[in-house]
Amino acid sequence: MSHAPLVELINLEKEFAGTKALKGVSLSFASGEVHGLLGENGAGKSTLIKILTGVYSPTAGEILLEGVPVRISSPPEAHRLGLGAVYQDAELVSSFTVGQNILLGNEPGRIALNDRAMHDEAARILARMGIDLDVRRLAGNLSAAEMQLVTLATLFHRRYKLIVLDEPTARLSAAESEVLFRIIEGFKAQGIAIVYISHRLREVQEICDRATILRGGLVSGTLNRGEVTEDRVTELMVDRNRSELTTFNTGESVLPDVALEVTAISTARLAPLSFHVNAGEVLGVTGPVGGGMEELARALGGITRHSGSASVRGKTVALATPIQARSAGIALIPEDRRKQALFPSLSAAENICLPVLNSLQRLLAVSPGSMRRYADGVMERLAVRPPNSSTQVRFFSGGNQQKLVIGKWMSAGAAVYIVVEPTNGVDVGAIKEIYDIILGLARGGAAVLLVSSSLRETLAMADRIMVIHDGAKVAEAPKKEWTYDELLAVTLSGISRRAA
Amino acid sequence: MHPNDGIGHVTKVDHQTSPAIAQNVARTTTSSGRKESAAMRFLRRWGTIVVIVLAGLGFAFASPYFATVSNLNNVLFSMIVSALVSMGLTWVVMAGSFDLSIGLTVTTSSILVAFLMPIVGPWLAIVIALVAACVIGLVNGVLVTYGRLSGIVVTLGVMFVLDGINVFITGGYQVPIDYGETAFLYLGQGKLGTIGVPVIILLVVFALALIAATRTRIGHYIAAVGDNPMAAFYSGINVYRWVILAFVLSAFMSGIAGIIVTSISSSAQPVGGEGYLLEAFAAVFLGATVLGKGKPHILGTLVGVFFLYMVDSGMNMVGFPFAARHIFQGLVLIVAVGANALLNREEVHLKFI
């Protein structure tokens, strides 16, 4: 039966509020195959994976598992059908040992647990994977990379038929990536299908038997091993027909003075790097997800411990805590809006006014009226819909929530705005408005650091572009020197082909 | 000349550095888990026990009656009900929730057994009381999981409801046990040699609970669910089932406590059960610091209860007023848990429950 595909997707469509994320994808994954999945942001990769693992259900189309149509209604259902996934943020029980985590849910013994048998079995699994790790260590003390490897080890007992690996090397070193590739070879030998999502072309060339490139919600091509070349992939990935974004930063707002100067900033996952941003300038920071660009944003926002120095408008500042970063004039607008930037059960007005409460207060009290007037003004300028400042934030759409986050910081008068993935999860209609708001910040004299994995967005919005790959800066140049294809090639390979 | 720096040419950075970085990460994180000194490690593991031993020695010096077998017997006897309730609560806190209804579950089971004994006889009365306790736990557990309510809210509500029912059944008066029920009264008042029967019951329940918690799936999965429910969910563990079981075990142990307290005092009291609740929380969180686990466990809880009652007895013998004992117990709880938190420092602390 080796010729029949294990999983077959037929004409899958998925629509979100009128926008089609998938427009009829037909694909098949065979047993014992490593199948690479490539595509720009918004091409439909994550939607496809979420359908496979039961998070979303498709609007139209069919999924066949071993030739039989199946409905994957929830993640546990996917689990039961033998479809599993390892996501970038690995989940382990931190107070359990490595061994207990590896066998969680599949412990040997009926009622009584045999602690020694459990740890012996875990040690055998790790030895087979070629990982040198003490099974008695607590998971909470592991490094991020070790956690990732332990998470992979848990797959050995779950009897999956298909495993989705989403950017599995994002947290691994070169040596650890080799371990991962050996594990994948092991899964292949057992006849498990692997769907391998990566932005790193070298990995795809090395381990994938086939690679499918998605573009604009459609399959633009499937390449066999050996056909995966930078040129072919770039050609299939770039959507020539997609209308160019109507917003374009022409760069006239750039002022001659430096707003943010960063010297040799480094964290545990970021090699020392230096750069500066002028007032009125937008610096685009791009690269593969997990490659270090988010780490830079978190370091500058005072969230991640770092070394190196920074100065804002010529004054050296300390950025050890979010409070210090804030008073230094740096506003961080994080990617995970709901968790890190908004208070979902408070009203829009309460959210917007939070950073400026001091200036709104009279005699230690803030009147609801002055809060509402201020919030209404901000919401009108940003065209937030519905224009009702007393509505709780959780009732706004993703795009309007993003406007509220920006609105929250806008009039707080920061010198530097760090905006991370501003259009992630934002409805198409609101994207242009958000771009205009961000460019408005720059026109107002602020420096903007736009951290985004979307190349199109970076090329439209930035004055200069810096690429961060594997925790290091690999290229930096003014926008006019970049073409889309070249930027794509650098973010995929991490190698700048141009001479310095 | 900053504005021209980096503009006009592409900066190339050697990307071979990156694997070294990642390996560095692995190394530093590993060592930060291990770099504590031997003294710190000793304190983390044995700190609470050392404090208990020191307090015991202090009382032994201050009073000649403290370090005697009969006083040990007294302490053990007085802590029986509290120990059972606290061990029950341990399951729920392990599972990551709270149970405020345990005190009233003791009262309810006590009243039920006293009330039913003349009607159905002692043994059936005990069975019905224990089943009723389990039903209380089941209701708590189902509302917290399938009902999606917070453990604090649910068990607070159940606590009020039980209080109302208890007062309604008894009319607010105590329910006496007939002196003829010698078999039932033996459970709380009998002796095997020099050891009280209820002390033996406590030790048996403790041994069973300890085995269930450390050697079986029950303790293993309840701990997994309490620590990281998402990881448990993705491992194919039925998370709800184990949370419900934790609530049932908690209520079951409170039910046993209710039967024993009825036997000890030859009557059921309609009020006063709430007192066990606060003691139980103190014991569970004190117990979490025992052996440096940092999370509740059955053995630690028993040690915690023992400490609270030992201090009670010691301060009583030395002549401290009753009020001083509570002040001391409260301070010990905060200092022990605080010292433990200092030893297990997290990078950012943003949890205030």
So what's the pLDDT on residue B347? 62
Is A154 near chain B, with CB under 8 Å? Answer: yes
Q: Determine which of B1, B9, B11, B210 to mutate to test the interface with A (most A C-beta atoms within 10 Å).
A: B11
Domains delineated in chain A: 7-92+142-237 (3.40.50.300), 258-493 (3.40.50.300)
How far apart are alpha carbons B138 and A350 in whole angstroms? 40
Question: Among B177, B170, B165, which residue's Cα sits nearest to residue B132?
Answer: B165
- Kindly determine whether residue B2 and residue A477, on different chains, have CB atoms separated by under 8 Å: no
Percent of chain B, pLDDT > 90? 59
Residue whose pair of structure tokens reads 């450390």 in the numeric block = B214
So what's the pLDDT on residue A89? 57
So what's the pLDDT on residue B21? 36
So what's the pLDDT on residue B305? 95
- Kindly determine whether residue A173 and residue B18, on different chains, have CB atoms separated by under 8 Å: yes
Q: Determine which of A80, A95, A132, A262 to mutate to test the interface with B (most B C-beta atoms within 10 Å).
A: A95
Buried b / exposed e across A423-452, counting CB within 10 Å, b at 16+?
A: bbebbeebbebbbebbbebbeeebbbbbbb
- Summary mean pLDDT of chain B: 85
Q: Say what the ipTM of the complex is.
A: 0.78
In this structure, of A199-203, A295-299, A371-375, the range with the lowest mean pLDDT score is A199-203
So what's the pLDDT on residue B208? 96
Q: Radius of gyration over alpha carbons of chain A, in Å? A: 24
> Which residues in chain A have their CB less than 8 angstroms from residue B96's CB?
none
Q: Is the confidence at residue B143, as pLDDT, over 90? A: yes
Which of helix, strand or coil describes residue A446? coil
- Kindly determine whether residue B21 and residue A270, on different chains, have CB atoms separated by under 8 Å: yes
**Which of B19, B28, B230 is nearest residue A268 as measured by Cβ atoms?**
B28
Q: Is the confidence at residue B5, as pLDDT, over 50? A: no
Is A484 near chain B, with CB under 8 Å? Answer: no
So what's the pLDDT on residue B291? 84
How far apart are alpha carbons A81 and A91 in whole angstroms? 21
> Bigger pLDDT: A461 or A245?
A461
So what's the pLDDT on residue A87? 64
Question: Which range is most confident: A388-397, A410-419, B199-208?
Answer: B199-208
- Kindly determine whether residue A79 and residue B237, on different chains, have CB atoms separated by under 8 Å: no
Query: A124 forms bridges with which residues in the sheet?
Result: none
So what's the pLDDT on residue B157? 96
Compute the average pLDDT of residues B16-32: 37
Give the pLDDT band (50/70/90) at residue A469. confident
CA A287 to centroid of chain Cα atoms: 11
Give the pLDDT band (50/70/90) at residue A17. low
> Bigger pLDDT: B157 or B331?
B157
So what's the pLDDT on residue B173? 93
Compute the average pLDDT of residues B71-97: 94
User: How do strand A83-86 and strand A258-267 relate by DSSP bridges?
Assistant: unpaired
Q: Determine which of A143, A152, A254, A295 to mutate to test the interface with B (most B C-beta atoms within 10 Å).
A: A143
- Summary mean pLDDT of chain A: 84
> Bigger pLDDT: A185 or A167?
A185
Q: Is the confidence at residue A488, as pLDDT, over 90? A: no
- Kindly determine whether residue A500 and residue B9, on different chains, have CB atoms separated by under 8 Å: yes
Give the pLDDT band (50/70/90) at residue A208. very high
So what's the pLDDT on residue B29? 37
> Bigger pLDDT: A358 or A462?
A462
Task: Decide if A452 contacts A284 (C-beta within 8 A).
Answer: yes
How far apart are alpha carbons A365 and A46 in whole angstroms? 47
Give the pLDDT band (50/70/90) at residue A88. low
- Kindly determine whether residue B25 and residue A93, on different chains, have CB atoms separated by under 8 Å: no
CA distances from A226 to A210, A211, A212, A490 (A): 9, 10, 13, 20
Residues 6+ apart with CB under 8 A from B132: B108, B109, B112, B255
So what's the pLDDT on residue B344? 66
What are the start-end ranges of the H helices in B146-268? Answer: 151-170, 182-189, 197-215, 217-227, 229-234, 239-265
Compute the average pLDDT of residues B177-203: 92
- Kindly determine whether residue B231 and residue A92, on different chains, have CB atoms separated by under 8 Å: yes
How far apart are alpha carbons A121 and A66 in whole angstroms? 31
Percentage helix, strand, coil for chain B under 3-state DSSP, each rounded to 5: 75, 5, 20
Percent of chain B, pLDDT > 70? 87
Compute the average pLDDT of residues A440-466: 90
So what's the pLDDT on residue B346? 61
So what's the pLDDT on residue A245? 58
Which of helix, strand or coil describes residue A304? coil
Residue whose pair of structure tokens reads 């199109």 in the numeric block = A456
In this structure, of A157-166, A241-250, A384-393, the range with the lowest mean pLDDT score is A241-250
Could you say which DSSP state residue A392 is in? Answer: B
Token pair recorded at residue B162? 């039980």
Percent of chain A, pLDDT > 90? 24
Query: A37 forms bridges with which residues in the sheet?
Result: A197, A212
> Bigger pLDDT: A499 or A132?
A132
> Bigger pLDDT: B1 or A81?
A81
Per-residue pLDDT of B42-52, as tens digits, reads 877 888 888 88
How far apart are alpha carbons B303 and B283 in whole angstroms? 8
Task: Decide if A250 contacts A75 (C-beta within 8 A).
Answer: no
So what's the pLDDT on residue A104? 87
> Bigger pLDDT: B207 or A426?
B207
How far apart are alpha carbons A93 and A91 in whole angstroms? 7
Minimum CA–CA partner of A87 in chain B = B234
Task: Decide if A450 contacts A438 (C-beta within 8 A).
Answer: yes
Give the pLDDT band (50/70/90) at residue A75. confident
- DSSP assignments along A201-212, one per residue: HHHHHHH-SEEE
In this structure, of A187-196, A250-259, B179-188, the range with the lowest mean pLDDT score is A250-259
Q: Is the confidence at residue A487, as pLDDT, over 60? A: yes
- CA dihedral sign, ordered A64, A70, A71, A75: negative
How far apart are alpha carbons A86 and B297 in whole angstroms? 31
Residue whose pair of structure tokens reads 């098949």 in the numeric block = A28
The dihedral region occupied by B10, where left means phi > 0, alpha psi between -120 and 50, and beta the remainder, is beta
Kindly provide the residue ranges of all beta strands, DSSP E only, lying in A70-145, ordered along the sequence. Answer: 83-86
> Number of Cβ pairs closer than 8 Å across A and B?
163
Domain layout of chain B by residue ranges = 44-341
Minimum CA–CA partner of B226 in chain A = A93
Give the pLDDT band (50/70/90) at residue B116. very high
How far apart are alpha carbons A250 and B281 in whole angstroms? 64
> Which residues in chain A have their CB less than 8 angstroms from residue B5's CB?
276
So what's the pLDDT on residue B186? 94
Residue whose pair of structure tokens reads 């908004």 in the numeric block = A342
Q: Which fold has domain B44-341?
A: ABC transporter involved in vitamin B12 uptake, BtuC (1.10.3470)
So what's the pLDDT on residue A272? 92
Percent of chain A, pLDDT > 70? 94
Quick one: A362 exposed, middle or buried, by C-beta within 10 A (0-12, 13-18, 19+)? exposed
Give the pLDDT band (50/70/90) at residue A41. low
Give the pLDDT band (50/70/90) at residue A3. low
- Kindly determine whether residue B15 and residue A470, on different chains, have CB atoms separated by under 8 Å: yes
Q: Is the confidence at residue B80, as pLDDT, over 90? A: yes
pTM for this prediction:
0.79
- Kindly determine whether residue A93 and residue B236, on different chains, have CB atoms separated by under 8 Å: no
So what's the pLDDT on residue B265? 93
Compute the average pLDDT of residues A466-473: 89
What are the start-end ranges of the H helices in A256-367? Answer: 293-300, 322-327, 337-340, 348-353, 357-360
Give the pLDDT band (50/70/90) at residue A64. very high
Q: Is the confidence at residue B26, as pLDDT, over 60? A: no
Q: Is the confidence at residue B34, as pLDDT, over 50? A: no
